Amino acid sequence: MARIRTIKPAFWTDEKVGKLSWGARLLFIASWNLADDEGVLVWNAAYLRGQVFPYDIYVSVAKIKGLMQELLDKKFIENYEVGGDVYAFVTHFSKHQAISKPLPSNKPLPTSANFKAKFTENSGNNTGTVQEHSSTEGNTELEGNIEGNNKSEMELSETSKKLAALFKSLILGNNPIAKVPENLDKWAKEFDLMLNKDPGRTEDLIESVMRFSQSDDFWKTNILSPGKLREKFDQLYLKMNSNSNGGNSNGTKQNINDW
């Protein structure tokens, strides 16, 4: 979970929060960490289980779905679907999270008029409208982060350089004549953004999703740059895990009816 969020003392004595089960309260808090700066997050039970309860073998995907429904029923979360994938936003997110220099969401935003209005109201979008995000790979986010500095002078982490080199080798492994850059600084900058700005993007996870993208017959012809990898990351992650049991163990289940 890449983002640091705050919890107000009033949270613990809030009557509406108190009507949630313990598990739903914990999932709600975790949603703040998983949400981007506009309060948007992936709303998928298997994904949430892996991010929030990775060590709790007795917490099933079915249990997570129940906790998710609690949050929806109490209007702590609003969900919506785009292209077959489900996303959500935390209601009144900006009212409870003071974010310095918030970045626009890189996830698909609501398309219906009703949801646009609801999203604007609940997220506190500074523009008063849902922002439209370009599908191009131009990196305005990066430009904002290094305002006043020369991009070429931006220090790149060794991890991002390693990921860029690995991605290049995987692409060339599939197609030796693929058009890839000689200088990988731009690619490394994109990986730096994934590592530092996107929720839950660890080096190991990025590498796993990257390798999946280049081993899948469909995705390896479409994911040919870190920008595209970042844009489709959530979809790739879900597809990568679609044949698994969502991290649910077959071990002995413990009783968590008290949640």
CA distance linking residue 73 with residue 69, whole number of Å: 6
pLDDT band at 210 (very low <50, low <70, confident <90, very high): very high
The class of domain 9-123 in CATH terms is mainly alpha
Residue 154 clears pLDDT 80, i.e. is over it: no
Q: What is the pLDDT of residues 29-42, one digit of tens each?
A: 999 999 998 899 99
The percent of residues in the chain predicted with pLDDT above 70, rounded, is: 76
More confident site: 236 or 149: 236
Would you state the pLDDT for residue 115? 59
Whether residue 97 has pLDDT greater than 90: no
Question: CA 152 to CA 222: how far, in whole Å?
Answer: 28
> Exposed, middle or buried, 210 (CB in 10 Å: 0-12/13-18/19+)?
buried
How is the chain split into domains, by residue range? 9-123, 153-240
- Full-model pTM: 0.49
Dihedral sign for Cα atoms in the order 120, 238, 5, 201: negative
Residues 6+ apart with CB under 8 A from 55: none
Across the range 102-117, mean pLDDT stands at 72
Cβ atoms within 10 Å of 187's Cβ, excluding its own: 23
Euclidean distance between CA atoms 152 and 45, whole angstroms: 41
Q: What are the start-end ranges of the E strands in the chain?
A: 40-42, 77-82, 85-90
The contacts of residue 214 (CB under 8 Å, 6+ apart) are 167, 170, 171, 173, 174, 220, 223
Mean pLDDT of 190-215: 90
pLDDT digits over 59-82, tens only? 999 999 999 999 999 999 999 998
- Identify the pLDDT of residue 259: 40
